[in-house]
Each structure stands twice: as structure tokens, then as C-alpha cells.
């Protein structure tokens, strides 16, 4: 197996690192404190091609591979995990399903503008009674001539306040259960789309998370994504790839926690010597680095398999499961190494800890990842 990145991949990684340090770092803590959406930063990110990284050049994207995406996601999330998740949703959960399942007209209409940052996307699957059980959709889409009439509520929608394009899942035939779910491309300015609430969150506070209600929203039939009844399949295959992005986000948080710990350990003295000279601290840092490297290799393996068109469901879930766990563990250790300073906002490690937890929850909780991994290993059908 070749562990060397290509020159292009290394260039993407360095470009993302430089952008994160120069454009994101100066106000990352301030945006978090104010819960301020990074409008200008996202525009600049799009100018670099990072909002449509894997979109084909035919549709205005950068046409890059998943490994490049992982490298960029880690560098961005290392500095600001909120920007990381905005980038992840647009790339993995919006652009990818449109390019994979959309008609040529849909691709030409939406992908170039999503890739250029002129439009921002959101993925509307979760509901008040359909979180981990995504098949339990209560939102309905009733065919009425050339339109579908959408009614229902979607919860915890990342980019929900500022997104222009929504990938929405709804029941078109309730009697068929999960096989009666269909997917739609809904423009935010369609009549009947209402953002009812912006959530107050523990972490990733400068990304917006909203509740969206659809009240007799008329969606043209030409905006259906895929055939009727394909919605659940589209949602699950989309999330398989999305988990690679969240694993990369978690890696960024974990790596930031490690680097902050190393820096502090070399500067802070206790009992007449630097923290870095205490074996207890050395062990913590060694364990953090080892876990991060293991999670990174697993994430890159999932990306590598996806790029080659093979099955990667198990690897993506494993990567997301392990990387999110490592992110939380490393952030906790970083706070511990910083002592009292780790608990105050003068140092970024308290933000890393708050940001890390969500990686164990969204795009499938850790418990759901274990179910998926077990099903793949046991070849169980769902």
C-alpha cells in the first residue's frame, strides 16, 4: 500500500492549512462566542474550490478525490470546526447526492452555484420523531399534478438558517414504509418553507442549526431527486460518504488538542520543571498521538476505498466511530493538561472539548455506527 500523498493532495492540504491559519484563526473564538455565521469566510473558502471539492469540473467543481477532501477538512476543522461542518454538509450531503442521483438539468442548475459558494446547501432528514430511526419520516409529499405538496417538520438542520438549497426527505407512500420515502431539492424561497427556530448549542456555535417547517410547500415534480421511493436509499448512501467528512472533522479537533497540549507542556513549569518533562504528561501526549494516527489511517482507508468505487460502508462507519471517540478523548486530555487554564476561554482547548462531542452524535450516533459495522460484518440485511 502506498502511504505517500500526491503533489496535488499535498498542495490542497497546504492551501487549506494556510487559509485556516490566516483567515479563520484570528476570529474563530470570537465567532464561537457570538454564535456568528462565517459568511465572508465561506465565500473565500468557495473561491478556493473547497465548497465543491468532489464535484466534477463539468459542473463547476474542483473534481478532486476524497483523500484531498479529508486532508482539507482536517486542516479547516483543526482551526474552526464550525466552518468544517458547513463545508462538510455542502460537499458531502448536498453536492454529492445531486451529482449522483440528479438529472442533468438538476446538476446544471444547482451544482455550479453550490460549488462557487453562490448557494449554500442543507440536508433535511432528521425530525422530532425521526433521529436515529431515519425511516420513521412524518413529513409527507403528496403529488398534485406537476407539484408535490410538502408538510412536516425537520430538526437539527445544519446550515438551516442560511442555506438556499435543501435536500428534503418525505413520505410519498406511507404504506411502503422506508420504501415509500422520496427525496426533493427544495429552494428556500419556495412558498411554505419556514425557519422556525435557531438552536442554542454547546459547540460548533458559529455554524447554524435550525428547525425548518414545511406548510403546504409546493415543490415541482422536476425537483424530485431520483425516482419515487428512492429517498431512503439516497439518504443512507449519502450519509455513508458524509461520515468520512465528519471523521476528518473529528481528526482536526483531535489534532488541534494534541498540538495545543504539546505547546503548553513546553511552556508551563510545575515543581521546577516543564510539564513536558513529567512522565505523566508524556504518556498522555503519546497516547493522544497514537490514537489520532490510528483514526487518521482508518479515515484515509475509507476515503481510498470510496475513490476506487468499492464498498466503504464499514470503513466509513469505523472511521467516524473511532475518530469521534478520539476527538472527545483528546480534547478532554488537553483540558486536563492545561489544568485550570483549560477550563477558561483564554485558551482554545475548552472550545475543542465543546466542539468534539457533536462528532459522536450527528450523521449517525456512535451507537448507530456500531450497528452498521456489525451488520456489515455479519452480512445482515435491513
Least confident range from 129-138, 246-255, 278-287: namely: 129-138
Is 70 exceeded by the pLDDT of residue 382? no
Q: Alpha-carbon Rg of the chain, whole angstroms?
A: 21
H or E element at residue 335: helix 313-338
Closest to 23 measured CA to CA, from 49, 1, 43: 43
Q: Which pLDDT belongs to residue 2? A: 81
Task: Return the ∠ at Cα 355 (arms to 194 and 44), rounded to 5°.
Answer: 65
**Residue 1: predicted pLDDT:** 67
∠ CA 346-351-353, rounded to 5°: 125
Active site residues: 363
- Asked if pLDDT for residue 381 goes beyond 70, the answer is no
Q: In this structure, what C-alpha cell is assigned to residue 71? A: 486532508
Secondary structure of 79-102 in HEC code, one letter for each residue: HCHHHHHHHHHHHHHHHHHHHHHC
Question: How much is the pTM?
Answer: 0.97
* CA gap 97, 105 in Å, rounded: 14
What average pLDDT does this structure show over 276-284?
98
Rounded CA gap, 109 and 107, in Å?
5
The cell numbers describing 205, all together, are: 456555535
Give the pLDDT score at 130: 86
Structural domains of the chain, with CATH: 7-120 (1.10.540.10), 122-230 (2.40.110.10), 233-378 (1.20.140.10)
| 24-38, 183-197, 246-260, 367-381, range with the lowest pLDDT | 367-381
Taking alpha carbons only, the member of 220, 300, 287, 213 closest to residue 257 is 287
| Percent above pLDDT 70 for the chain | 99
State how far the Cα of 282 lies from the Cα of 262, in Å rounded to an integer.
Answer: 9
Alpha-carbon distance 375 to 382, whole Å? 8
| CB-count burial class (<10 Å; 0-12, 13-18, 19+) for 355 | buried
Average pLDDT over residues 279-283: 98
B/e letters for 116-145, b = 16+ CB within 10 Å, e = fewer, are bbebbbbbbbbbeebbeebbebebbbeeee
What is d(CA 134, CA 125) in angstroms, rounded to the nearest whole number?
A: 7
Residue with cell 438556499: 164
Q: Give the mean pLDDT of 277-302.
A: 98
State how far the Cα of 107 lies from the Cα of 95, in Å rounded to an integer.
Answer: 9
> How far apart are the C-alpha atoms of 339 and 328, rounded to whole Å?
17
For 353-363, write each residue's pLDDT tens digit. Answer: 999 999 999 99
Copy the grid coordinates of residue 237: 448512501
Amino acid at each position: 500500500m502506498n502511504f505517500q500523498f500526491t503533489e496535488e493532495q499535498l498542495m490542497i492540504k497546504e492551501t487549506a492549512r494556510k487559509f485556516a491559519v490566516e483567515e479563520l484563526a484570528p476570529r474563530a473564538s470570537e465567532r464561537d462566542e457570538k454564535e456568528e455565521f462565517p459568511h465572508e469566510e465561506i465565500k473565500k473558502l468557495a473561491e478556493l474550490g473547497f465548497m465543491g471539492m468532489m464535484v466534477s469540473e463539468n459542473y463547476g467543481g474542483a473534481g478532486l478525490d476524497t483523500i484531498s477532501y479529508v486532508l482539507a477538512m482536517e486542516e479547516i476543522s483543526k482551526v474552526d470546526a464550525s466552518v468544517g461542518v458547513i463545508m462538510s454538509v455542502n460537499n458531502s450531503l448536498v453536492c454529492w447526492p445531486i451529482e449522483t442521483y440528479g438529472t442533468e438539468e438538476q446538476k446544471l442548475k444547482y451544482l455550479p452555484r453550490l460549488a462557487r459558494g453562490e448557494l449554500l446547501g442543507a440536508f433535511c432528514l432528521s425530525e422530532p420523531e425521526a433521529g436515529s430511526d431515519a425511516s420513521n419520516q412524518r413529513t409527507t409529499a403528496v403529488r398534485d399534478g406537476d407539484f408535490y405538496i410538502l408538510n412536516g417538520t425537520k430538526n437539527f438542520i445544519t446550515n438551516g438558517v442560511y442555506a438556499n438549497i435543501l435536500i428534503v426527505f418525505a413520505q410519498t407512500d406511507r404504506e411502503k414504509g422506508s420504501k415509500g420515502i422520496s427525496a426533493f431539492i427544495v429552494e428556500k424561497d419556495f412558498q411554505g418553507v419556514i425557519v422556525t427556530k435557531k438552536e442554542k448549542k454547546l459547540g460548533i456555535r458559529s455554524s447554524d442549526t435550525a428547525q425548518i417547517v414545511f406548510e403546504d410547500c409546493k415543490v415541482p415534480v422536476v425537483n424530485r431527486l431520483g425516482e419515487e421511493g428512492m429517498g431512503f436509499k439516497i439518504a443512507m448512501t449519502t450519509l455513508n460518504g458524509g461520515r468520512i467528512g465528519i471523521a476528518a472533522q473529528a481528526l482536526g479537533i483531535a489534532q488541534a488538542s494534541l498540538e495545543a497540549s504539546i505547546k503548553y507542556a513546553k511552556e508551563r513549569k510545575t515543581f521546577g520543571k516543564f510539564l513536558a518533562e513529567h512522565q505523566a504528561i508524556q504518556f498522555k501526549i503519546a497516547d493522544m498521538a497514537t490514537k489520532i494516527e490510528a483514526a487518521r489511517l482508518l479515515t484515509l482507508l475509507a476515503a481510498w476505498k470510496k475513490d476506487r468505487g468499492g464498498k466503504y460502508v464499514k470503513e466509513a462507519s469505523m472511521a467516524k466511530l473511532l475518530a469521534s471517540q478520539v476527538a472527545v478523548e483528546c480534547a478532554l486530555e488537553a483540558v486536563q493538561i492545561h489544568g485550570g487554564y483549560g477550563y477558561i476561554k483564554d485558551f482554545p482547548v475548552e472550545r475543542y472539548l465543546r466542539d468534539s462531542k457533536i462528532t459522536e452524535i450527528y450523521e449517525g450516533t456512535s451507537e448507530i455506527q456500531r450497528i452498521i459495522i456489525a451488520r456489515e460484518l455479519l452480512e445482515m440485511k435491513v
